[in-house]
Amino acid sequence: MTGVGLPGERAPRLVIATVYCTTALLTVLIFFHLHALWGKDLRVPITSPRADYGSQALFAKTVMETGWCGTNARLGAPYTFECYDFPLAEGLTFTFFAAFGRFSNDVTLGINIFYILSYVLISTISLFVFRQFGLATLPSIPASLLYSFLPYHYLRAEYHLFLSAYYVLPLMVLLLAWIHAGECFIKASTRRGLPCHLTRKGVAALVICFLMGSGGIYYAAFALIFLLVTGIIVVLRTQRATSLIVPGLAGFLILSAVLINLAPNLWFIHVHGEDQAVAHRRPQAAEIFGLKITNLLLPIPNHRAPRLANLRSSYWSQTGPAGEYKEPLGLVIGAGFLILIVTLFSATAGGPSSLLGLFRSLNIAAVLVATVGGFGSLFNFLVFPEIRVYARIAVYIAFFSLGALLVVIRTIQVRFAPTTTKALLFNLGAAGIIFAGLWDLTPANSLFRPEIAPAYRSDRDFVSTIEATMPRGAMIFQLPHLFFPEHGPLNRMTDYEPATGYLYSNSLRWSYGAMNGRAVSDWQQHEANLPPPELLASLKLIGFQGLWIDTFGYKDGAAALSGQVRDLLQREPLRSANGRYLFYSLASYRPPDAAGLTAGEQMRQRDAALSLPLEAAFRQCSILETDGRINWRWCGKAGEIDISNDNPRTVRATLTMSLRTASPVASNFRLHGDFGTSDLRADVRGTEFVKTLEIPPGIHVLRIDSDAPRVDAPRDVRVMHFRIVNFQLKPQ
């Protein structure tokens, strides 16, 4: 531990505790000033509860109510929301909300506390790591504050709550430094029966790896890259391949922690099959959301200095705001980044075995991997396209840059201010300059908007009024239908906004939350497309007791729909204070067609109404294409169709499709699997295939093998032998 002024100087525990408490207090004070929260109610969202905020809040409240993010009976009505298709390795965040849910059901308050806590943890843990590096405490305090208040943090705000919690990253850099320095993690044991045991740093490394693997897939993936780079550096320095063992074990532990977090997701996919509509990325996303050095070094958006703000605006006007643009480093951290770049060309500044040398190597590795057209893009194209937003590696780059700046400050101080008094004055001056960087790094205006509170209270009070009039557990159907996740905006409605009803209620069940690509979402879309008389009759038959309409989701403000529903129900809707939401109670509604039906007939109609559509997933085939008349998928020499029946009973259905090649010469096809075997021949004109299937509950496979020649298309990287045209699966 270092002292307050000089590197390497030990300080009393009370002084150290005071330093950390002061840093935490400064963090809170700056946060409240930045968000203009003095005297504000923390039960109101700090940032607008729209768009991605809804997904973060939905996950948080699910964990608060159920203990984990797996299933939620209050979403996806009349079925159950299952979020296993959307993988989240967020064990640390989920643990917080599971604990918070034991004391409160207010998800907004929980999110605000977690968001504030993320700033405090980042600044104090960063300070701890800087001190572990032997860097002077005085300049390390404002450096830690700068790292906590990165634009990466406050521009994401509560929209990307999980990404805002990057407090484990400094600990990961500490582990990389230990590995780079050759620290001992395991040593021989003097006890009988135990050949070796973990050292204190070995135990710490184990904990860091587990935390790293439980703090988000992106940060864990980047950590694996840096472990590989550090291992290569150590191997080159020691000339021993065995030096890769420690970083290899660390990478294995991080990956194991990620897999433990994702174990429920992996098991669900194993049982129910992969959802091809959710969380699948394309390689070109790495080009769209890759790192841009200009975004690192240009001033922040809405800079306090008008000329600097205009500089970024001028750049955007000529090039467009490509990428996420949330990674500016500011002048101070940017200076550290430039130090790392410049010293690449110096043979003496920070040798490969030094801390500065490590930061320099990791920084250039981050740039080469994440920059647009870099190795990350190549990896996405050739291997695995799911890590799409490489620009998020900027949060690591910022820490390397701050570390480099502090190392340079320490070097200058040791050389030119060696005495205690001079060192104290020098470090005070350096701390002042770094602290001034907060002015450059934070925006001119508050991120808190005065219109947030009235909108939030209008939504909350409206939901509370509905809940007071409905029995516990009542089901509410929501229009328009938006699937989960990543539906995108619909007219004036932003994504995830249908979660509003769930977030502000405690007992009602909501239709929103059906997973895209699964049968429940398709069923809800079918219901939502019914004409109002059929929709109301179906909802009443199934057991829904209310209809929620978001007028922002319709071009006409839902005037036509609301008018028809009002005429059918013979009652006016309940309106939210801001006029956006409408609610109709179905408690007293009696559909005309229901009169005279026996209980048995009603039950049969209800079962028919609840019947889920059959789903088909295509493997070894391309995405669906269409020219307006027909649709098709290209396949390789073989294709596979996984047919899913999520109903509790066997469904009889007719499968219809045409198999076509690109050659006028007929080729042989064999269709086999769980529905018997069929042989046919097809050429460029196609051959129709029709078969009646008895489909039990579960997933069933239909394989298609062919000897069709490969399509000659030099500019198309796909392997194409035949195509499946106009595939249909209709229940009888």
Query: What is d(CA 114, CA 228) in angstroms, rounded to the nearest whole number?
Result: 32
Given a cut of 70, whether residue 498 has pLDDT beyond it is yes
Split at pLDDT 50, 70, 90, the class of 323 is low
pLDDT at 301 over 90: no
How confident is the model over 347-376, as a mean pLDDT?
84
601 Rama class: left (phi>0) / alpha (psi -120 to 50) / beta = alpha
Quickly state the pLDDT bin for 186 (edges 50, 70, 90). confident
If you compute the radius of gyration of the chain from its CA atoms, what whole number of angstroms results? 30
Q: Name the range with the highest mean pLDDT among 6-10, 279-283, 690-694.
A: 690-694
pLDDT band at 276; cut points 50, 70, 90: confident
Half-sphere exposure of 350 (CA within 13 A, CB side): 23
DSSP structure class, residue 85? T
Q: What is the separation of C-alpha 81 from the centre of its chain, rounded to a whole number of angstroms?
A: 18
CB 227 within 8 A of CB 173: no
Is 375's pLDDT higher than 90?
no
Tell me the whole-structure pTM to 2 decimals: 0.89
Most confidently predicted of 182-191, 305-314, 393-402: 393-402
Between 607 and 495, name the one with better pLDDT. 495
156-183 burial, b for 16+ CB within 10 Å, e for fewer?
A: bbbbbbbbbbbbbbbbbbbbbbbbbeee
218: nearest Cα among 298, 126, 152: 152
* DSSP secondary structure string for all residues of 514-533: PBTTSHHHHHHHHHHTS-HH
CA 88 – CA 263 distance, rounded (Å): 10
Taking the C-alpha atoms of residue 617 and residue 644, their distance in angstroms, rounded to an integer, is: 8
Q: Where are the beta strands (DSSP E) in 412-482?
A: 475-479
pLDDT of residue 610: 87
Residue 321 confidence class, pLDDT cut points 50, 70, 90: low
Confidence label for 594 from pLDDT (cuts 50, 70 and 90)? low
**Measured in whole angstroms, how far is the alpha carbon of residue 4 from the centre of its chain?**
39
Secondary structure E strands in 137-279:
186-188, 196-198
Once rounded to an integer, what is the mean pLDDT over residues 653-668?
94
**Residue recorded with tokens 């980047």:** 222
User: Among 462-466, 552-556, 569-573, 604-608, where is mean pLDDT lowest?
Assistant: 604-608
CB 384 within 8 A of CB 432: no
The answer to whether 548 and 477 have CB atoms below 8 angstroms apart is yes
146, two tokens: 């700068």
Query: Beta 625-626 vs 631-645: how paired, if at all?
Result: antiparallel
- Give percent of the chain with pLDDT exceeding 70: 95
Question: Which has the minimum average pLDDT: 301-310, 349-358, 557-566?
Answer: 349-358
The per-residue DSSP string of 222-258 comes to HHHHHHHHHHHHHHHHHT-GGGGHHHHHHHHHHHHHH
Residue 347: per-residue pLDDT: 60
**How confident is the model over 103-123, as a mean pLDDT?**
95
At 85, list the tokens. Answer: 């298709």
Token digits of residue 82: 């299952």
Q: How confident is the model at residue 153 (pLDDT cuts 50, 70, 90)?
A: very high
Instruction: Please count the CA atoms within 13 angstroms of the CA of 147 that sit on its side-chain side.
Output: 37
Cα 309 from Cα 301, distance rounded (Å): 6
Q: Which residue has the tokens 């057991």?
A: 543
Token pair belonging to 80: 């159950």
> 84 to each of 56, 244, 518, 611, 730, how far by Cα in Å?
15, 35, 11, 22, 27
In the structure encoding, which two tokens stand for residue 68, read together?
Answer: 């984990």
* Number of C-beta neighbours around residue 432 at 10 A: 12
Write the Ramachandran bin of 275: left for phi over 0, alpha for psi from -120 to 50, otherwise beta: beta
Beta pairing class for 631-645 and 615-621: antiparallel
By C-alpha distance, which of 127, 141, 7, 131 is closest to 412? 7
Cβ proximity of 675 and 689 under 8 Å: no
Identity of the residue numbered 64: M
Computed from CA positions of residues 469, 472, 475, 480, in that sequence, does the dihedral angle turn out positive or negative?
A: positive
Q: Judge contact between 67 and 73, C-beta under 8 A.
A: no
Summarised one tens digit per residue, pLDDT across range 688-710 is: 999 999 999 989 999 999 999 99
pLDDT of 8 reads 44
d(CA 569, CA 409): 74
Tens-digit pLDDT profile for residues 518-534: 889 999 999 999 999 99
The stretch 379-404 carries a mean pLDDT of 89
Q: Identify the pLDDT of residue 149.
A: 95
| CB neighbours of residue 60 within 10 Å | 28
From 49-63, 253-267, 276-290, 612-626, the region with the lowest mean pLDDT: 276-290
Higher pLDDT, 544 or 154: 544
Q: What percent of the chain has pLDDT over 90?
A: 60
Residue 540: pLDDT over 60: yes
Among the listed ranges 44-48, 186-190, 513-517, which one has the minimum average pLDDT value?
A: 186-190
User: Poorest-confidence range of 172-181, 277-286, 369-378?
Assistant: 277-286
Whether the pLDDT of residue 5 is over 50: the answer is: no
Cβ partners under 8 Å of residue 336, min gap 6: 329, 400, 401, 402, 403, 404, 405, 408
d(CA 374, CA 379): 9
Q: What is the pLDDT of residue 6?
A: 45
Residue 285 has a pLDDT of 77
Torsion, Cα 63 470 516 732, to 10 degrees, reads 140
Average pLDDT over every residue of 711-715: 86
192 falls in which pLDDT band (50, 70, 90)?
low
220 Cβ neighbours under 8 A, 6+ residues apart: 89, 212, 213, 254, 255, 257, 258
Give mean pLDDT, residues 403-412: 93
Lowest mean pLDDT among 177-181, 267-271, 354-358: 267-271
Q: Give the DSSP letter string of 576-624.
A: -TTS-EEEEE-TT---GGGTT--HHHHHHHHHHHTPPPPEEEEEEE---
Alpha-carbon distance 404 to 398, whole Å? 10
3-state helix, strand, coil in the chain (%, to 5): 50, 15, 35
Q: Which pLDDT band holds residue 465 (cuts at 50, 70, 90)? A: very high
Q: What pLDDT does residue 322 have?
A: 60
Q: Is the dihedral of CA 90, 91, 94, 96 positive or negative?
A: negative
Cα–Cα dist 650/695, whole Å: 5
How many residues does the structure list for the chain? 732
- Whole-Å CA distances, 452 to 33, 40, 205, 218: 17, 11, 43, 30
Arithmetic mean of pLDDT over the chain: 89
Q: Taking a C-beta distance cutoff of 8 angstroms, is the pair 279, 87 a contact? A: yes
For position 351, what pLDDT does the model report? 60
At residue 3, does pLDDT exceed 80?
no
281 touches 377 (CB < 8 A): no
